[in-house]
Amino acid sequence: MSACLLGRRVRFDGGAKRSDDALLAAWREEGRLVPFCPEVEGGLPVPRPPAEIEGGAGGAAVLDGEARVLTRDGRDVTDAFLAGARAALDAAVASGARVAILKEGSPSCGVLTVYDGAFRGRKVAGEGVTTALLERHGIRVFNEDRIADAARFLARRDGPEAG
């Protein structure tokens, strides 16, 4: 679970993007969530310069060594993004996670979109580095607007008592 969606101030700008979704609140009360910020776990500070995947390529291209994650001033932060993605995968495996709820648009956590790599505020279709790694390892990733879809996925996978 993206820690910023749970109100933790870990985003690049030092803020959070808390979700008030009722299902998410219930899962939190049940102790079913593992809060995680791949960028912070990868060694990046809060706040930090914004970063984007070069050329608007997706996280899979970063995992495959075909693209980098760069800050606006051109600093390569790919290694931190890769380290954070690996740490997220380790946490997911250790906790037995079957799904992840991640923050849309992030170069780590984007599920459907990421920024285009030109720092113009434009999004393109693609996934973040952590999303790509989790999905490569069979963990289904949903964004904060698809929490009900995650619940339905779990219910289909585990039966009606799952939620």
**Confidence class for position 159, pLDDT limits 50, 70, 90:** low
pTM confidence score: 0.94
Q: What is the pLDDT of residue 161?
A: 47
Percent of the chain with pLDDT strictly greater than 70: 97
**Confidence class for position 56, pLDDT limits 50, 70, 90:** confident
Is residue 107 pLDDT above 50, yes or no?
yes
70 and 43 Cβ atoms separated by less than 8 Å: no
At 74, list the tokens: 């051109």
Nearby residues of 113 by Cβ (< 8 Å), 6 or more positions away: 104, 105, 123, 124, 125, 126
Residues 39-66 as b or e (16 or more Cβ within 10 Å = b): bbbbebeeebeebbbbbbbbbbbbbeee
Is residue 116 pLDDT above 60, yes or no?
yes
Mean pLDDT of 82-93: 98
